[in-house]
Amino acid sequence: MGSNLPIPILSIDAVAEHMGVHRKTVERWIHRGEMGHVPAGRRRLVRADQLQAFIDAHTIDPDAD
C-alpha cells in the first residue's frame, strides 16, 4: 500500500506562517480546492506533501516561454 513513515501534518496557522500569508488566505485556498487538506473534526490540517504540491503547482518558471 503505502509507506509506514509518518507524514508531517501542519495546522492552518503553521501553513499560513510558512507561506507568509494570513490564515484566511489558506482557508480560501482550501475552500476553493486549490490546496488539499485532511479533515479532522472541525479542524482542517495540511500534510506536508499537500503543501509542497500546492507550492509546485503555483510556482512560475521564469525560463518558461
Q: Is the pLDDT of residue 1 over 90?
A: no
Residues spanned by the domain of 43: 9-57
For the stretch 15-47, pLDDT in tens is: 999 999 999 999 999 999 999 999 999 999 999
The pTM assigned to this predicted structure is 0.81
Confidence of residue 14 (pLDDT cuts 50, 70, 90): very high
Residue at 1 is within a domain: no
Q: Taking the CB of residue 34, how many other CB atoms lie within 10 A of it?
A: 12
Residue at 4 is within a domain: no
* Count of domains for the chain: 1
Number of H helices, E strands in the chain: 3, 3
Residue at 2 is within a domain: no
Confidence of residue 5 (pLDDT cuts 50, 70, 90): low
Confidence of residue 65 (pLDDT cuts 50, 70, 90): low
Written as nine digits, the cell of 20 is 507568509
Residue at 49 is within a domain: yes
